Amino acid sequence: MELQGKVALVTGAVQGIGKAIAEILLKNGAKVSLLDINVPTGEVTKAAFEQIYGAENILFLPCDVTSENQLKDCFCKTLEKFQRLDIVCNNAGISDRENWEKCLSVNLVSVIKGTYLGIQHMSKETGGKGGVIVNIASMAGLIPFYLDPVYAASKYGVVGFTTSLSLTCLEKHGVRLQVLCPGFVDTPLLRGLKSEKASEQKEWFKKMVARFGLQTTSQIAEGFLQLVMDHTRNGSLLKASETGKLEYEDLPALVLPENPKST
């Protein structure tokens, strides 16, 4: 997919991985709608991007992704401004062990809602031009994650949902679904995990970082760009498990029923 003139919507877009993804899209000629609950940081990021890439290419929309009405409204406002939608990145995510239901709502439920909204607006069945959706999961969605089991559950859910829906979405709607699984990335979320007080947790964290490496947000954005640009892939799971290393995970071969709609 050539990105010049394409329109992307990114959640959790004003810092960390989301900001890096938004910027790599802008650098490659796309227009980007930035969704984030953090309004002060959003305004700063918007102003910085406008100076480099032009105000006509950027839209910042305050959004709590756990609110279905807000999420729907942001999709509509994106289409109103840019008149099309080609790329959706469901990136917003948190770690919250005290309020684990919120963790699931942000990390999994909002990803499902954002995916269905993206399909709704890009589907060739409803007059769209097709497109691609990249959902951001985590290596914690592939291996046990001692520090936050509910966070792991949410990311396992993203992997399962995305790869499962991809089996029929491209043929029916013209929309490719991909999932990106970063390892440890230098973000505010990671710094929160590093501040664990228990010595045994700190030791485990150090061992995991030593095993999987510590990546930059720009390296994750490169993986995202790879998934978006390669139109030959659908339902791909791309791991960013070591510093600078991107590797596709082979999914089990599956046999679809002859008539999936009847199941």
State residue 142 phi and psi, 5-degree precision: -125, -25
**Residues 196/202, Cβ–Cβ less than 8 Å:** yes
Exposed e or buried b for every residue in 99-121, given b needs 16+ CB within 10 A? ebeebbbbbbbbbbbbbebbbbb
42: tokens are 């959003």
* Closest of 139, 135, 136, 107 to residue 213, by C-alpha: 139
**Residues 21/41, Cβ–Cβ less than 8 Å:** no
Instruction: In whole angstroms, give the CA distance from residue 259 to residue 247.
Output: 33
Angle, CA of 148, 42 and 161, to the nearest 5° = 40
**Residues 165/177, Cβ–Cβ less than 8 Å:** yes
Instruction: In whole angstroms, give the CA distance from residue 59 to residue 53.
Output: 12
156 is catalytic: no
* Closest of 108, 92, 95, 68 to residue 11, by C-alpha: 92
Give the total residue count for the chain: 263
Catalytic choice (53, 116, 146, 151)? 151
- Catalytic positions: 151
